[in-house]
Structure 1
């Protein structure tokens, strides 16, 4: 039977030194940013801000120097991510490429792909989206029906991807398509492709969420041609690759810091109130955040040691999502201020935004049911 391994980790001096450097940069770069805008957290997008981070060497910082990286540690990258998220920095323009698309290309891409894509990502000049989910397949990635048909010099892609965050602004997608159909072996015959989002035959349709925001999209492929040079990894090896990619997606501090601005606003309000019960509630919240942080740090330690963090990352994502979704309800119970996005206080506006956004936290990056299935399998329970 398996078990969780959240080995305690102390950050090295170079990581803590970087923390202060990042804080000084953010204090200047985000001086005029409103709390409600910070509440967008890693879904906030500012291409120029991403380019600034690129110039600092803070995108792809663990990658080889020959591809624009800095060859710094995963622990230093963790500190950078933590500070960006805590400040609510608008990082969406590079976040997916830095977090998973770039590492995927480093891991299984060709030399030509590495030389073409990685320096542009590291400079904050190329944005990626993820083409996994499909209509009518729920969270069952192995039920992918979008087809890849082999043609002379490449492939023609047909089908639909849905809930694709940032597709309308991304330069490229890493998409999962079925190159061979076998109902008895649905985890086989899947391949990943690097897809130019300006390709002929690709239509991107907006999906507006409950908060009135346009993050999600439906991407319809009508015989979109992709050359052989844009196959990621091996043909037919898509399932193994995509599950490895998801470990990167689920392992970062964004899985428990998406609502951090609401906690900050609650603490600000509590300072003016002499209320022991309120302080006790805020102390409990802080303890939850610090526990999740220690768990997330342990996952970063596994990455640094070259170990597979899939099981522990799923635990952090699941527990973190449950915690974050509880925060707007707790805030309403503790404070009488009504949520509003129209000329409210910072607390009211942040609360109103996150009340509408939080339902998505148990969906993105894998639903709760899928995560708990992974955890159960890892523990030998199924």
Structure 2
């Protein structure tokens, strides 16, 4: 029998601009202390820890956790690109679910550098090097852009060409993110933006993307304490949020053949992961009340509505126009403000999603609260590739 896995505690630091944050180990330690306090346990009760970060040297996880305590427990450092935080969560949950441990910790943190993302290991082939010809052939005219901008700009352009999606739809998604973030004190951007303001911003990809449609590089940390039900009851911990199902997928062959930018940005990984989650939990997309998804670009959020099954293929523009992605619609998407407004420290993002959805299911989300939320879905994507989809339920 596999153990039920419960989210006993969550913690998160405010997300801030690069160059203004504390060192990574201080942010990470603050998030861990907050999660432990939320759970009502001490660090000496943690039996294993998984520490996620993308930009850092070896054993940054130990450096961070030693600020909280030195108990000799196993610490595993995790790097799975932008899905790193949820991969750490995935490993912590598997440890508890397998009954190897009763109490595990997942923490993610990132101390980013100012400026656009860049390759730090430019003396060797990059990830996905075998498939770079696909990217280059599908994104003519975007050669001057960094890889992330070229990738998601190209995917947005393909969606527009295939389904007639308008640039204004991406702007509407970005404006929605800004409205949601107004009520999130931990978000980096809390000013509401109009569709017109977003459309008039600096153009990155003509006819496809402006600067406001891209998420900012951000520093921050988040953590979660995952326990078995028997551990929670033995120690009098809260049992109200359960991880009902979870899946981690990587690129299948059809991600690159036939060539498609929608596939390149993970649509196949997402569809496979969410299908596994529906099968494990016995629910479907129509059952979800609230979702935190990987909106690194407004274009990706639009693509993901379809990949996650919230609307039919080609139906994302209508989904946005009908307001089905916000309060009063079908599924409230990114009530935190998402990566676009909350910020995106890659190592912390998946655990920040856990923080938001745990508070939604507890009814603790204040003005962001989705009324009556009982099922919550998290989607966290790392190109290269890895996709983690997690289903949380009110226990």
TM-score above 0.5: no
Structure whose CA Rg is larger: 1
- For normalisation by structure 1, the TM-score amounts to 0.29
Give the TM-score normalised by structure 2: 0.28
